[in-house]
Amino acid sequence: MRKNIFRIIAGVFILWSLSAVSIQAQSAMDLRINEFMVNNDSNYVDDYGEHSPWIEIYNSAYNMVNIGGCYLTNDLSNPTMYRIPKGQVITKIPTQGYLVFWADSNTTRGILHLNFNLKDSKFIALFDPSGKTLIDSVSINPKQQANVAFGRLEDGSATWDYLLKATPSANNLTVAKVSAADEFGEMDPLGVGMIIIAMSVVFSGLAFLYLFFKYLGRFFLRDKKKPKTGIEKVQENQEDEDEISGEVNAAIVAALYFYRTELHDTEATVLTINKVARAYSPWSSKIYGLRKNPK
């Protein structure tokens, strides 16, 4: 049984280690081209105060991803057109975070300024550090309106369209969205359905716990049901012989009880005999009490 316990603990530890590694691991494949603007006449300004075309990259992962080493290009025949430098803090995109690149063909202004311009582009693509694996891409409609961004309706989703508001480094969804909880509240204003669901969840959890501990106990008791070998039987009989039976224990307890509750005075077992000496007195002698015979 101890071996089984050790195996279970080892399995849990291995699963926990693998999950921790998978959570902490960085993967550029989780990056997405999320939004861009070609004709930026009076919208977002760069760090030099100029209105330049821009591209927003979104990290859809639940961990930080460093985009350093990846490539951005506007030509599929040249996937390694612009290599994003590695070892930079600014290239670390936090979970569900964003990073904006400026497509102004002016790399002297910083690592976020690309060597191509979106005004002359028909395509945007993001490649992994090998320069061979395509991570994400999007075609550019030649009829791009001024100061209007084109992007995913929701961050990381598959649906693209012109956005009502340009949202560089922010969530693309700017319209209030009715949640599932709100819809359910409208369908069930009295909360009857919520009560039924809650009770179902509670009882389902209790049933699951019952079955879990039931079969877990059977798993641990499985070794005890196995047929015992001759050596195991001899050892078990020896252990039984070494143990004191219940009758013997009861007799010992009763003897101790009577001993403590029926105590009496200790009696001396030594007898002492003293000799009594009486002094002789003639007054008490019988010879003086007798009369002499008359002559």
In this predicted structure, what is the pLDDT of residue 175?
75
Q: Render each residue's pLDDT in the chain as its tens digit; 295 residues.
A: 555 555 666 565 666 655 544 444 458 999 999 999 999 999 999 999 999 999 999 999 999 999 999 999 999 999 999 999 999 999 999 999 999 999 999 999 999 999 999 988 999 999 999 999 999 999 998 888 899 999 999 999 999 999 999 999 999 988 776 667 777 777 778 778 888 888 899 989 899 888 888 887 777 676 555 566 666 665 666 655 556 677 777 888 788 877 777 755 555 556 666 665 655 555 555 555 556 666 5
In this predicted structure, what is the pLDDT of residue 277?
60
For 84-217, list the strands marked E by DSSP: 92-93, 98-102, 123-127, 134-139, 150-152, 160-162
Length of the chain (residues): 295
Place of tokens 């009502």: 164
In this predicted structure, what is the pLDDT of residue 41?
92
pTM assigned to the model: 0.57
Phi, psi of 102 (to 5 degrees): -105, 120
